[in-house]
Every structure is written in structure tokens, then in C-alpha cells.
Structure 1
Amino acid sequence: MLSLLFLSLAPASALAASSYTPVPEACPSSPLVRSADGMSDSEATWITGRKAVADAALETWLATALPTVDTSSLPTLALSISGGGFRSLLTGAGVIQALDGRDSSLSTAGLYQALTYHAGLSGGAWLLSAIAAENWPTISSLRDDVWETQLAGGILNSSSATTVNDYVEIASDIMSKANAGFPVSLTDPWGRMLSYQVMLESDGAVDVTMSDIASLSNFTSYNAPFPIITASKITYSNGECAPQTDEAIYEFNPYEFGSWSDDISAFVQSEYLGSNISAGSASECVTGFDKIDWVLGSSSMLLNEYICNTSLGFDITSMFPSSIVAVVEEYTPDPDYGYALVPNPFKGYNSTTATETSSVSDLDDLYIVDGGESSRNVPILPLLEPTRNVSVLIINDNSADTDEAFPNGMSLVLAYEESQTGRLAGRFPAVPAAGEFSTARAQFFGCDDADAVTVIYLPNSDWTYASNTTTLQLTYTADETDSMISNGNQIAAQGGDEYWGACLACGIMLKEVGGAFMFGTKESPLMPTRLLSKGYAIASLDYRLSGDAVFPASVEDCKSAVRWLRAHAGEYGLDADRFVAFGESAGGHQASMLGVTTPADGFDVGDHLDVSSAVQGVVPYYGPSDFLQMDAQAPQDGKSQRHDPPESPESLYIGAPDGIQAVPEKTARANPITYISAGKKVPPFFISHGVDDHLVPYHQSVVLDEALKKAGAPVKFYPVEGADHLFSGMTKEQSDELDRKTDEFLASVLGS
């Protein structure tokens, strides 16, 4: 590494002010600091404009993904991308590309335009900074114009003459900022070096601030989501090397910097961050402290652990030129230089919304570190704030929780634990313990919890490339960069599954439309398409939804469809004597009704009445079997959906304006168990249900299994321990076992 030590000896008078240095500015007429009593007026006004644009984009996407869904009420969507260095930047970039209607043709394309919020931390913050600070270019342009070259041999990895000149510029920036009286640390060169790696501008966007984003065209026209970058507070006065897991989270956005935490609960205008503020006011202000490179560096500042813990024997010059370290040390000694430092805007300020004594009001500077150090490697909590009204949270987790550098869901568990009390109580759904659910594919959490956000979890997995690179890998060849991004595409699109778009749409819209029996079409089935490769034909059936007709219309439609299919079996090369009904949730109910009813039960109406509507086997996954018992059987933890009220999906399906309990005989006619009796011929059943299902209680399948066995009907039952509705939370092993058991059942009924 070429030495630049001479820079530290240059006299301050010889240095011209750098554009990196904050500059004096008149203070605004509006308050600099406010208590966190909701989102800022600026954010609230902007969100109103953005929500209209996002809703239009979501409606457009849903028109393809789930054509018949009612879009009169649409959820507020947010995306959160974890830390994880360049592993997260590149994987997250692939996820965003797959969601971006300008840059992808996958089934997910267009969802990025439907987001209202986008949060990032550490590597996820590098990605968000590269996008938001550059007015939202496509991932393709960032990949082709910057990353393929810079990540292969940029400023972090080279001692070329160009790099040396960049180091000279960085050292000059640091000295100029320090000589102007502002605290500096290794965060400054770290952020500047990273910005050369990830930004489109050749100077690393040195002039761009976080608050500048508010004036960019795609932001002012509401054509992009609201960006939020997070980092962690550290109680440096206690001598901590790393923050506690319950330490406050700092948030940077285009309008404000601050924290929602109970002990700080305050925000300062981002533009004036760095000003000498006391008790919420200042006589003189500065602007330009909130440089985007400093912000992205602050969100990923994890050197403190290595510097503070001397037993690790960490050599700081392994990451920075000794000359850069010398320049920083001249102004900020070891170990202080291992933290991001900012003049404390909350000094002497007593927030009216704080519920605990302020932990920062007596500090001159705030100490900030990588949010992942407190084990919250996914920026979740700011998106749970009730004032933001996020209802669907898409999480791309690229954490290295396991020995193999894959995520295990720890950040989700911590988010759930932290949202049990206070203003966030109930905002995050229950999740299994870390490592106890599959991270090889997407998972849904909270679909059945009306108070919590719906979480769509997209963990890093090696779909097409070994994406579990180490967090400390700082060099990626062009091929590696392309492969990581392409793998991220597959994470978002779940390997290109043709029905993933419909599944994703169901998860997004489930709470808005009220759930079962209310949406879905044969164009958007959730069928196991892997069965096609085994020689089975799949026919998807349409039936009238509860918005169009009430029970028994749907059962009549399904039986009519089976009769039509059997009558035309010869035209399609089908075996008319080997039909199996398969369905999930409401579809599971329809499948069961096909299996247990006969023409004598009165559901065969319409055409082809000379043809049988019988099926030779039934595979219902987590379907209702006794509507009248659903509320009594539901987990009593306050998270389960109610089924008895008049507005419930079940009451709407039955056509019960006073609720299903008011019409027990009519409701019983819709229950599959009503039609099971000894001596009645019933085809073989294979039932499966998540034991922790909060939407359709697990015992709905238990009573179906028991009724079939009591009647002497052939039945097999596979309970999935730890799984919620849609089998959310099931492990990879459980998923494989379910597939195996389903395949065995089909082979036994239909033949291989």
C-alpha cells in the first residue's frame, strides 16, 4: 500500500475547504428538534402522495398476478433489506431487480413500484444509498456501469495510481471536516471508500446528502419508496465494545434523523444534523453533515468491536492505509475513532413522548455503530411504528447467522420479542425460534393476525449460485457480481415458479379482502406443479366467490367442473376413472366436499348430470371441515382470526348476515363432516395441516380425520409441527416429507 503519511503533516491553513465539510447556514424558522409523537409533517404529506402512486402500481401488478381480487382497499407495502456487506448489497440488488417493473419480466416485476417504504442496514444501506442518492437508477445500470468494475478492483482493493489519488482526496476531506470543528472517525474514510465502490458518480457522490434525496425528481414526483437507513446507538460511556440487543435504533431518512426508542423519542431535521444544538434549539446552524457516504458508513460501522476489544489483535491498517489512520488519529484517538460520531442534537432535550429517562441528553456527541451488532441485522422496528401503517413487510434477509453464512431468522425472533409491549405491541407476528423453520424458500408470517404486519420472508438461499459469501469479502469479479444478482432474482421469484406471483399476491391481499372464499381464480392456482413431471395432469377449477354468490354455489360449481372434465376426458387424453381433488385452505374445503358428497346430497345441478362428479381421492391441506367449531378450536392467544362474526369470511360464504352461529343448520350443510357416515362410500383422503395454524385451526383437520376413521374410510394424516397457515414456518425437512407423503398417496390412488 502506498504511503500517504505526508498528508497528516500538511498545515491546516494549506487546506482548502472540502465539499465534504459542513458549512454554516441560517437556522430554519421551524423547530430543529421534535418529540416523536408520530411521523413528521413532511413525511406525512409525502406519504399521502406516494400512497396514491403505490396503490396504482399495486393494482396494475395484481391485475396479472391475481386478476379477480377486490382492489378497493390496498395495503401499505414496505421492503427491508438486511446487513451483510457486499453479500447483502448484491443479493438485495437481485431482489430489487426482480421487483422492478423497469428492469425485470419476472412474475414479481412491478412490486417495487408498489412499495411505500424501503429500509436498509449496513450492506442493505449501501444498496439503498446507491439507489436513492442517485435518483433510483435500475440495478442493471448500477451493475453494468459501476459494480462489475469497482467491486473487482476498486478503492478497497487496489493500490493503483487512481486509487492513490482517491485516498489523497479522502484524507483531505477528513482534515477539512476536522479543522472546521466537527468530529471525525474511521467512519469518514470508510463511508467515502464505500461510496467510490457503489455510487454511479466517479467522485463517490461526495456532494450528496441524505436530505438532498428529498429534492430528487423521482422523490418529488412520488415515483419511489421512502428510504430509511438504520444504525444502532451504543452506550459508549459504559465502556461497551458492542451495543446491547435492546439498544436504541437510530433512523436516517430524507427529512429527519433520530430514534423512536422510549429513552430518546426525538428527531432532528436531517438537513441541520451536525449543528450545535442544545435543548432543541441553536443560534447557528450548519448543513452538509448528513453526507450520504457518512450515513452509509455509519450504518455499517462495525470496527468498534475489533478496535475496542484489544484481545482480538486486530490491525486497523489491514483495512485502511496507515496514512488514513494517522490522519484520523490526529483528531480522534483510539478507540473513539472506531465509532460514527455526530454532535448530539438531543443534548439537553427532554422529549414529551419519552417514557424513560434520556440516555443521551448529557452527551456532547452520539456514538453510532452497525445495527447488526445488536443482532438486529434486519431494519424492522421503524417499519412497525403504528403511525406509518405498514401492513405488509417484505424482508430480504442476507444475514450470516449460521456457520454456513446463511440466515436463520434470528432478526425476526428479536423483532417479535421487542414488539410485545408498548406502542409496538402486537405489530409483529409470532415466528418460530431461530433455526426452527426453513430458510431455503419464502415464508409467510402473520397472515392470520389482524393486528400484526404480514411478513413475507425472503431469506438468502443458493438457488443458482453459492451466495453465502463471507461478510468480509470485499472483492467480487464481474462474473461473481452478476451471479450474486441473478441468484437474488431467484430468491425474489422463488426459482421462477409460475405460480409464485399468485401466491405472493394472496399473501399481500389476504387481510384486505377478508380471506378465504373471497378471491382467487383458476389462472392463479397454488398447485404443486412438480406433479406434472410425474405424469399427472392438473386441471384448475373456477367457482363463484362469496362476493358473487353464497353457499352452495361454490360446491355446485366444483361438481359441475368435474362432470364437464369427465365428459370431455377423451378430448384431453385423461383417464375419466382417476380423478383426485386437491386444495389448500378454502380450496381444501371444496376438495373435501367433492369427496364426501354424492348426487343424493343435492349439489349436482346444471349440465352433464348423466356423468359422475365423484373423485377417487382427496388431498385437503389446512381446509375447514366444521365451521361452527372454528372459533372454539382456535389458539387462544389473541392472534387467531374470528370466524363467527357477521363480517367473517365464513359468514359471508354461508350468507349469514348475523353470523354463522345464528344459522347452525345452514352452516352445518356446508361442513364436510356432515356428510361422513358409516357405510357411505368415501374415497381415500390424505390430510395435512400446520399444528400452529391461526387462520384455520389445526383441529379442523383433526375432526375430519377422526370422522373419516370412525366411518371406516381410508385416511392418512400428516400434522406439520410448528407450522402456521400456508405451512408458514415449516422446515425444509418437513416440506420434503410432505411432498413425499403426498406423492405416495397419489401413486396409491392413481397409480404411478
Structure 2
Amino acid sequence: MTQLQSLLASVSVLSLLSVADAWSPTNSYAPAKVECNGKTGLTREGGKISDAETSWLAKRDPVTSAALKSFLDRVTSNFADNSIVEQIFSQGAPKAGYAACGGGYRGMLLDAGTAAAMDERTPGANEYGLGGLLQGITYITGVSGGAFYTSTVAYNNWTSVQDIISQMNDGDHSIWDLSNSPLNPGGSDTDYTNQVFADVQTAVQAKHDAGFKVSLGDAYGLICGYYMYPSLPQGGATYQWSDIQEVDAFKNGEMPMLMEVTAIVPPGEKTAGLDATTIELNPFEFGSWEPSINAFSDMKYLGTELSNGNPVNDDECVLGFDNVNFITGASTDVINYIATQGNAVYTSMISQFQTKFLGNITTESVDTNIVSPNPFKGTSYYSASQGDSLVETENLRLVDGGYGGQVIPLTPLMRQERNLDVVIATDNSYDTPEIWPNGHSIISTYTRQFHDIGKTDAFPYVPDTETFAALGLTETPTFFGCDSSNLTDLAYIPPLVVYLPNRMYSYSSNISTYTFTYTKEERLAMIQNGFEIATRNNMTDDSEFASCIGCAVMRRKQEQLGLEWPSECEQCFERYCWNGTLASDLTSISSSTNGSSTTTTTQDDASYTTELTTLTSGENFSTIHFETSTTITCHECEEAQATATAEVCGECEEGQVTTTIECEECEEAETQATVTAECEECEEAQANSHHYTTTTSMTTTTEACEECEEAKATATSTSNSNNNSNGSSNGSSNGSSNGSSSGSSNVSSNGSSNGSSNKASSSVPTILQVTTALPTSSAFSIVLNENAGNNVGVTTGLTLLAIVGAFFGFM
């Protein structure tokens, strides 16, 4: 162990040993039966937050109020009149939440970058980011990969991403040292791997011997602990979820409340879907707001046999069941996914895992996290329409909370009982073959409120995936629910949602969920790209973006108090709010095909025009991203019609055509754009005789001619360049992609990136500034990276082979 790691270990352990009474009573992973000391009523009816949470809020609210006031004063200092801040705070501060999306290690690292952008502890976050906003957040939620991020920072004494970066290394088993896969945590150090696996086997056996049901979910969570809590003995095998109640940063209200989400596999089913009941895991309670349960149980006493909330055995309770790795594992478990694919090789893998970690233990469910006894047994708070299956079953089988499609953990933050005003939500979902989001996750949460299981929820209106694509809503931040007067048909007025989808700025962050190894450089690059997603490329795409976030934070209070809305906020909302337009509302004006691209221009009731360019992927093209769209509008005059004039490419020296689009009535709206031209007079530029690799980085398409160095066809999407030629937003986005980055990323035919970006180097916080290539550090990383070759059909098979190969090669 290095000197730094030894120091970190001593600091972390000493700080936790001060609350040693909160550790597992057996000083191991095994829970223990203890006296209840007269405790009854360990399960309560839902419908309100707990008394413990209410008491905690009394400490947290003054902290968040001061932080948000400071943040809003700073980001509105450029307003002509920012007196609205004082007016709002004279009546009570807004409340904010942060939802950290799943997506394996991809989600964890990108979520960390977003948090770093909001954290005043990150150097440069105030100047180039949203510094101070994280200090003003009341609740933070995580699911799947997002739960890796939230658990890590919360249960390491609310450490900062900056602190994790400062001690980040390869091969020293520091926090998030992902240089080796969980299938082989020691890499070439076989002694370390053998010791980890032996400790995990011993821990699982001890829990079983104590009389509690176990599964591979226990082993999975324990292994993950070595990556999140490396300074604690056996990766936190004796550390409990409810222990955070005794940590000073939490007790004093100095950090947000962490909540994670898991889903219950219905009795008789193999996995969870959109209608499956979700469980909220917070520091105080384990429970569900949903009508199938509508109850919460004391987290500290999870594992106690209860009937209608009271101990079945007189004065016998259980402590130590809520291990931090078991709880986080329940929110992130991918074992169930592997086990339910019906693939013979996957089935063999599960069998081998079972032999490795469970030995001769007989288990009722190999692939889920088992909570038994059921803390809701005998309760009667559920809705008759849902039946009593979940309150009568002996065991609750838990899986990754994103399995039903809700990969963004929004539901706990939407609850009316918590009265939030705004939620910052990342989307790192794997929705497209290219591993980018398409809006499916946020649509799932929106849709679920109209199902019986979600009838007590509310969520702002969002469009379908076709509209997300047509309006470019996954290319820039979008605000949903900007006008509460349009939400009165919902169960209640939900918070405004700031949607931050994954996209590439300085790094190709569309890395497969099943990539299990990242070098230090790759991890830093992912975190930096997350920082840039949250800040619109360090405020270079829109220098007023921080102000716009400030407007989103204030909006609900402004509406409730009837305060005058600043003109600066009005302009922000024109740029970032989705205005209800759907793809089906768009009228096609024209469609033209030019070589490898088709351009379709659409318009909705003459308020704006959208031009969508689609590159056709033929056998000579490897297309990484093939759709771009933007909104063009003339702010200054309604009568102006955009017209285009083309300059003929005379000698075709560069193979380009320059098109000028100008607003006839408004000189300031004049823009220029570069589009692809097939130069028939230049043999070198003929696409039919050469092989090209086409990559679109949201706004810029680069075609690299493999066989002819002299011929380079560079295409910049016309509509996407319009709003970026002068670095300002001159169009009403209505949630679309105006103001998108104009930076390109040149990618060669083998799919490797040079990591280039057009951002100013001075705009990046030093600690986050990393320029690196696509992950190529190890064979395991390469095979699992589904960017390689961009062939999903092939790489899915390679992913399977890599997992199997790693398993049989290392275990």
C-alpha cells in the first residue's frame, strides 16, 4: 500500500470508527439478532416523509438556502435587474435535486463530471461551470451506474469528485481504480484477486450461516465495494447503509440526502418491467410510495421478521442486514440481466459464478438481491387494485432499478411530499446502437404516471423519441415543465426538469455498459466530458447557460409568487424549453438528396424551421452518428423569410460549397454555413472511388478519404452551423439544438479518436483537463468497447466472448 493510500485509509477508517456503534454487530457481513429494546412500529404507511427526514431537513434547509442564494446572485449578476432573487428568498428558498443516471461505469463517470461542474470544491467550477449548485441541492438520487457515483461520494464522507481525481491512479486500488475488471480485481497480482474472492466467499457464507438468504447479488455487491470503499476493511463488508445517519456531514445537514432506487421482481416473474414496484432506499427507510405497497420500514432494522410493522418474536430485532454494498448492489445488479437472457453460455456463466461464490449453498434466487423476511408482511396500506402479492410474499427479490426503462432515478425527486422546484437530470442511457440516449428513459417515467402503479406520481409532459430526434433534444440541454399552467391536468405540479443528455465534447463518451476496465486517462476524460455536458462546453457554446440554469431554479417560486419574469430568463426559456411541438406537427417543406446525404426541411405553423440532414450509410461508409437538426428563427422580424444563395465551387480545390442564409429584414441574423459538395471536376474527391469514414459530432461531419490524402471532403451541417457561426443563439430552440457545439472530432477508419476539441484550453479547469484517445489500453477494454468498428451485431458477440473469456481465464 502506498503512503498516500495508507493515509487515506487511516483518515477514512478513523472518521468512521468514531461511530463504531453503527457498524455491523458481528463485525462482519453477517447480520445479528439483537434485543429490540421495546421498539415497535418499524413499518409505517406512506403518503408523507418520515419524521427523521423532516428533522434532517430542518438542518439541511438553511445550508441549501444560503448556497442557492449565493449561486443565484452570481449567475444573475449580468441581469439588468436581478431583484427577483431577493424577492424569492424573502418568501422561502427554492429546493433542488440531482438525478444521476445509470449506464454502468459510463454513467458513474459522466455523473461524476456533472457533479464536479456543480461543486464549488472543483477548481474552475464557478468560472466555467455551475459551481455552488451542488451545495444547494437537497436530495441526490442514483440508480445502476449512477448509484456507483452517489454511494461512493456519500459513503466516503461526502468526498468531492476533485478529491477522487487528485488520488486517482492505476493499479493502486484507490477509489474508482478501474484498471482491472471486477472479474479479475488484482490483474496480474493473482494473490490480491484470490484474497478478494476468498473474502467475498467467507462473507456470503457467514450471512447464510447466520440464517439469512443469500444469492449472487451479495457477492456482486461485495466485489463492487472494493472499487468504491477501498480504504475500508474488505471494501466495506461491515459498513451499513444506515451508518450515514451518524456521519457528521450528514447529521449536520452539510450534504444532500442520498436516495437510490431498486425494483421488485413480481412473484412468479423472472425480471422487472415498467409496471414493477420500485423501492426507495434512503438513509432512514426502505420502502415504496407506490400503491402496491405504500409503506416504509426502518432501514436500520431491515431483516427483522415483522407483522404489520411489529417484531414477530418478542423483543428480537435484526441489525447489520442493510450492508452498504448489498443496498447499492440491489440498485445496480446486472446479474439478473445475464441470467434471464436464455443463452446457454450465459446460463453456464451463472452456474460457474454460483459454484465460485455460493459453494454448496442452496438459494431461492440466484440472480437477485433477496430481502427476507419481507418488512411489509401483514401491512394493509396497499391499494386493492394492486392486490396483496407483495405484502404476503416471504421474500422481496430486488434488481437494478433501471430495468423497467427508468434509467434516470427521477421518481423520488418528483414526489409532491418533497416539494422540489427543479431537478437536474443526466441521461447516459444506452438507447441507440451507437450508445447514445434517445429520450426513452425520461419518456418511461413520464408514461408510467398514467399506469395504475404510477397513479400517485406526476411528471412534466415530454415528447416521443421521434420528436427527440427531429428537434435535436438529445444534442443540447432541454427544460421540461417550464410553464406550470400547462401541467394542471397532472396529479400535482411536478418540479421543472433540466435534462442533460450524454454527448461528445472532448471525448467519445458513448462507451458500452459492459466495458469493465478504464485507464486513469480514460476515466479522467469521461469525467471531463461530463463536466462539459453540464456546462455547455465550459460555457463556450452559450456564455449565459449558468444564468439559464438559475432561471430554471427560480421558475416555480416565481410562478407561485407571481413575480415579474426577467427578460433574460424569457430568452433562456425560448432557447431551452420544449414548447410542446411534436415531430408529427412538423410539415415537410422540401427534401433533397445529394450524394451521401438527404436534407429535409420542415416547419410548424411558420414559427420555426428545422432542417434535418441524414447521411446514408452505404457499404463504403462507417457512420458513427448520422442525424443533426437545429432551429432557425429570425428574432427581430416575423415577416423575414430565410433565403439561401450558393457560391459555385469553381476549381473545386477544397471540394466545398459555401451557402449563405440571410434574414432579408434583419442584417444581424446573417449567418454562413458550409455544406458538402461533390466536385465532379476533381477525381480525388469522388466518393464512389474511395472509401470514407463519416463521423458527425452533433454539428460537424468529417469525411476522411482513406485512399487519397489530397481529397478531403469536409461537411458542416447547414442548419447546425447557422446558430454557431458567431457563437450566439439567434433562434428560439423550444428545446432543440440551437447553440450546439461546432467542434469536430476527426475519427479514422478504425474508429479511434484523436480526442480533439475546439474549446479554449483556458476554459477548462486544470484538474479536469485531459486529452486522450478512445479506450485502447487493454484487450479486455477493446473487446468490450462497442465503439470499436461500430458494429453492434459483431460487438455484442464479442462482449459475450470477452465476459466468458475473462471469467474462465481468471477464475
Shorter-chain TM-score bucket reads 0.5 to 0.7
The answer for the alignment partner of 2:47 in structure 1 is 37
Q: What do residues 90-115 of structure 1 show as CA deviations (whole Å, max 9, x unaligned)?
A: 11111111111112322301111000
Give the one of 70, 78, 84 matched to 2:97. Answer: 78
CA positional deviation for 1:690: 9.2
Letter matched to residue 386 of structure 1 = Q
CA positional deviation for 1:443: 1.0
The answer for the alignment partner of 1:151 in structure 2 is 178
CA positional deviation for 1:244: 2.0
> Are positions 1:487 and 2:519 aligned together?
no
Q: Is the 8 A contact 2:31 2:321 kept in 1?
A: yes
Letter matched to residue 43 of structure 1 = E
The DSSP-based 3-state class of the residue aligned with 2:235 is coil
Deviates more, 1:383-392 or 1:308-317: 308-317
Q: Write the distance in 2 (CA, Å) between the matches of 1:183 and 1:495.
A: 48
> Are positions 1:393 and 2:393 aligned together?
no
Letter matched to residue 311 of structure 1 = N
The answer for the alignment partner of 2:479 in structure 1 is 444
CA positional deviation for 1:155: 4.6
Give the one of 719, 724, 727 matched to 1:737. Answer: 719
Letter matched to residue 251 of structure 1 = E
Letter matched to residue 133 of structure 1 = Y
Q: Write the distance in 1 (CA, Å) between the matches of 2:353 and 2:65.
A: 51
Q: Write the distance in 2 (CA, Å) between the matches of 1:480 and 1:426.
A: 39
Normalised by the size of structure 2, how large is the TM-score? Answer: 0.62
The answer for the alignment partner of 1:509 in structure 2 is 554
Cα 1:272/1:509, change in 2 over 3 Å? same
CA positional deviation for 1:514: 4.0
Cα 1:425/1:25, change in 2 over 3 Å? closer
CA positional deviation for 1:126: 1.1
Q: Is the 8 A contact 2:148 2:228 kept in 1?
A: yes
Give the one of 523, 530, 538 matched to 1:496. Answer: 538
Give the one of 85, 94, 97 matched to 2:113. Answer: 94
Give the one of 468, 475, 484 matched to 2:510. Answer: 468
The answer for the alignment partner of 2:459 in structure 1 is 428
Letter matched to residue 53 of structure 1 = V
After TM superposition, list the pairs within 5 Å mapping 1:579-618 onto structure 2: 584=571
Letter matched to residue 289 of structure 2 = W
Cα 1:98/1:373, change in 2 over 3 Å? same
Q: Is the 8 A contact 2:434 2:510 kept in 1?
A: yes
Q: Write the distance in 1 (CA, Å) between the matches of 2:237 and 2:729.
A: 62
> Are positions 1:349 and 2:379 aligned together?
yes
Letter matched to residue 256 of structure 2 = P
Q: What do residues 292-344 of structure 1 show as CA deviations (whole Å, max 9, x unaligned)?
A: 101111111222232234335305648x9x476344252234x7210110111
Give the one of 475, 478, 492 matched to 2:520. Answer: 478
Letter matched to residue 479 of structure 2 = F
The DSSP-based 3-state class of the residue aligned with 1:401 is coil
Cα 1:153/1:635, change in 2 over 3 Å? closer
> Are positions 1:247 and 2:276 aligned together?
yes
Letter matched to residue 571 of structure 2 = E
Letter matched to residue 296 of structure 2 = F
Cα 1:205/1:332, change in 2 over 3 Å? same
Cα 1:329/1:316, change in 2 over 3 Å? farther
The DSSP-based 3-state class of the residue aligned with 2:140 is strand
Give the one of 392, 400, 403 matched to 1:370. Answer: 400
CA positional deviation for 1:452: 2.8
Q: What do residues 410-452 of structure 1 show as CA deviations (whole Å, max 9, x unaligned)?
A: 1111111123478866831111112532212211111112523
Q: Write the distance in 1 (CA, Å) between the matches of 2:39 and 2:179.
A: 47
Cα 1:49/1:145, change in 2 over 3 Å? same
Give the one of 34, 40, 53 matched to 1:25. Answer: 34
Cα 1:164/1:435, change in 2 over 3 Å? farther
Q: Write the distance in 1 (CA, Å) between the matches of 2:105 and 2:641.
A: 54
Q: Write the distance in 1 (CA, Å) between the matches of 2:317 and 2:289.
A: 24
CA positional deviation for 1:161: 0.7
> Are positions 1:230 and 2:252 aligned together?
no
CA positional deviation for 1:707: 11
Q: Is the 8 A contact 1:406 1:468 kept in 2?
A: yes
Cα 1:703/1:115, change in 2 over 3 Å? closer
The DSSP-based 3-state class of the residue aligned with 2:167 is helix
> Are positions 1:65 and 2:52 aligned together?
no
Cα 1:102/1:701, change in 2 over 3 Å? closer
The DSSP-based 3-state class of the residue aligned with 2:139 is strand
Cα 1:746/1:475, change in 2 over 3 Å? closer
CA positional deviation for 1:220: 0.7
Q: Is the 8 A contact 2:262 2:280 kept in 1?
A: yes
After TM superposition, list the pairs within 5 Å mapping 1:301-700 onto structure 2: 301-311=333-343, 313-314=345-346, 317=349, 322=352, 325-328=355-358, 330-333=360-363, 336-343=365-372, 344-351=374-381, 356-420=386-450, 427-437=458-468, 438-450=473-485, 451-497=493-539, 498-514=543-559, 518=564, 520=566, 584=571
Deviates more, 1:121-130 or 1:297-306: 297-306
The answer for the alignment partner of 2:617 in structure 1 is none
CA positional deviation for 1:401: 0.9
After TM superposition, list the pairs within 5 Å mapping 1:721-736 onto structure 2: none
Q: Is the 8 A contact 1:17 1:176 kept in 2?
A: no
Q: Is the 8 A contact 2:421 2:557 kept in 1?
A: no
Q: Write the distance in 2 (CA, Å) between the matches of 1:252 and 1:152.
A: 30
* Aligned residues with identical type, % of pairs: 29
Q: Write the distance in 2 (CA, Å) between the matches of 1:164 and 1:400.
A: 33
CA-atom RMSD, angstroms? Answer: 3.8
Q: Is the 8 A contact 1:86 1:123 kept in 2?
A: yes
The DSSP-based 3-state class of the residue aligned with 2:465 is coil
The answer for the alignment partner of 1:3 in structure 2 is none
Q: Is the 8 A contact 1:622 1:690 kept in 2?
A: no
Q: Write the distance in 1 (CA, Å) between the matches of 2:391 and 2:286.
A: 16
Q: Write the distance in 2 (CA, Å) between the matches of 1:517 and 1:34.
A: 39
Q: Write the distance in 2 (CA, Å) between the matches of 1:743 and 1:103.
A: 31
Give the one of 249, 269, 280 matched to 2:309. Answer: 280
Q: What do residues 47-66 of structure 1 show as CA deviations (whole Å, max 9, x unaligned)?
A: 23212211110001111111
Q: Write the distance in 2 (CA, Å) between the matches of 1:746 and 1:373.
A: 38
Q: Write the distance in 1 (CA, Å) between the matches of 2:160 and 2:725.
A: 42
Q: Is the 8 A contact 1:276 1:285 kept in 2?
A: yes
CA positional deviation for 1:509: 1.4
Cα 1:363/1:81, change in 2 over 3 Å? same
CA positional deviation for 1:739: 5.5
Q: Is the 8 A contact 2:120 2:134 kept in 1?
A: yes
CA positional deviation for 1:702: 12
Q: Write the distance in 1 (CA, Å) between the matches of 2:638 and 2:523.
A: 51
Gaps of 5+ in 2: 1-24, 172-176, 486-492, 583-605, 611-630, 643-662, 670-697, 701-715, 731-811
Letter matched to residue 317 of structure 2 = C
Normalised by the size of structure 1, how large is the TM-score? Answer: 0.67
The DSSP-based 3-state class of the residue aligned with 1:436 is helix
The answer for the alignment partner of 1:121 in structure 2 is 143
Give the one of 250, 255, 258 matched to 2:287. Answer: 258
Letter matched to residue 503 of structure 1 = C
Cα 1:741/1:21, change in 2 over 3 Å? closer
Gaps of 5+ in 1: 1-15, 527-582, 589-620, 624-633, 638-686, 692-697, 719-730, 748-752
Q: Is the 8 A contact 1:146 1:197 kept in 2?
A: no
The answer for the alignment partner of 1:608 in structure 2 is none
Q: Is the 8 A contact 2:261 2:331 kept in 1?
A: yes
Letter matched to residue 28 of structure 2 = S
Larger Rg: 1
Q: Is the 8 A contact 1:265 1:354 kept in 2?
A: no
The DSSP-based 3-state class of the residue aligned with 1:341 is strand
Q: Write the distance in 2 (CA, Å) between the matches of 1:212 and 1:370.
A: 22
